Amino acid sequence: MNELFYNIIIIVIILVLFLAFILIAYFYSSYNNYKDDVDTNFSKTKEYINKTVVALDNNIKTSIQNNNDKINNTSNYIFDINNRVNRTDLRSTDNYNELRSSISNTNLNISNFNTRLTSNSDNLNRFDNGLKQFFKFNAGNPATTINQALFDYQFQVGNNILSLDLLRKVNAIAGITINTDTTAGVNNNLSVCDISTSNCIDMNVDTNGFNIYPRTTGGLSNLNIYNKSKNKVIAKFDTNTNEIYLGGSGEDAGMLVKDSNVYIKENRLNLLKDGSLYGDVKTVYDKNNRGTPQTFNTYQVSFADTHTTNSITGIYSITAGTTGTPPPITIIINLKASYNIPSNTNITINIPELTPTLLDKQILTGTETSISGLLGTNGLVLSGNNLKFTTFAIIPANQNIRIKTTSGDYVVDTTKYPEPVISNVFNLRQ
């Protein structure tokens, strides 16, 4: 048993030695076969290592140099910053000193400004008090005085009823312009009132001209013009009765104009011959003293000879229409004047058979006239039961003039006038 074990061990040793020999032979053979490649690889590796080391060395040197440069630059930058900080500190000191000086000057200016404000406030108060000697400011209706300060008048919030009273005599040495407004509902007129402001005369200017009329409330009706001594009325306008007195205010007046009528007292009528002076005494010729010597400068005419003889006479016919709703009515007017009627003359013909349903209605179509252009472009105007027109051409004396008009605006009360044709005459005194 022991011999077998020894034999096995010897065999194993032999096998191990054999295998080791084979391995040594293999490595040796491989070494001989790849020695050149290994040497070449070692040489290349060494060369690569040398190059790499040199490159790393150069990079390290460059990096160190760059870092040194950056350190130097940083040092210079820090130095510059220190210098700037020093300068900033100096400037801050200067600015602080300048700011202190500026604040001191500002305080001084504020003090001066406060002094000026106080002075200006005093001046404004004196100015306001001075203005109050000449003006009184009012607001509201009825007006209440708001004369505490000017801005109280100017800035009355929500109140546009402002007025101003002049308390002293005012001279407009450079002229004065007053703008008036005649818009409906607006009362921006120039008014002259008594001290109670209950009686006023209003004046305004519009496209028709300069208008003067009494205030509708207050009972004022007379406009009087006095002589220079202010002790006699030489002209009076009574707006309540539509009367104008010339030469006095009542029975002492030489002439009275009432509505469209003119009245002259016979013993007040004096006629002048052409070329004579108004200061010359003239007396009316007295027919009762005919045949007896009379004053040389009188004239053979009496008051009774001065009555108006001009007239317009005519006839009209009204023909009822038969078709249409309402059926149009035709009116034919034939008139003749005893004198030449000039153009731009207003003529009114009353036709009582017409029912007064319209006021100032223009009839622009359906009208014919025997004189071309007699009515212009205005046509006829129907106002109540009157037909009105303005002449745009001369109507010769004693010449028959025919006007024909047809319109649905004409209305006749058929219960009162059942006839299909109605005729009537008229006579107008001019």
How high is the pLDDT of residue 32?
66
How high is the pLDDT of residue 329?
92
pTM over 0.85: no
Radius of gyration of the chain (CA): 63
How high is the pLDDT of residue 84?
72
How high is the pLDDT of residue 317?
93
Residue boundaries of the structural domains of the chain: 1-121, 265-304, 311-429
**Which CATH number among 1.10.3470, 3.40.50, 1.10.357, 2.60.40 corresponds to the domain 311-429?**
2.60.40
Distances (CA, A) of 182 to 188, 198, 202: 7, 21, 11
Give the distance from CA 100 to its chain's centroid.
Answer: 54
Residue 51, number of CB atoms within 10 A of its CB:
10
How high is the pLDDT of residue 300?
47
How high is the pLDDT of residue 141?
64
Across the 430 residues of the chain, what is the mean pLDDT of every consecutive 10-residue run?
70 76 72 65 70 72 76 76 69 72 80 77 74 73 62 57 78 89 76 82 87 79 91 92 90 87 74 61 58 52 52 90 85 90 89 89 89 90 92 90 92 89 83
The DSSP line for 222-244 is EEEEE-TTSSSEEEEEETTTTEE
How high is the pLDDT of residue 349?
93
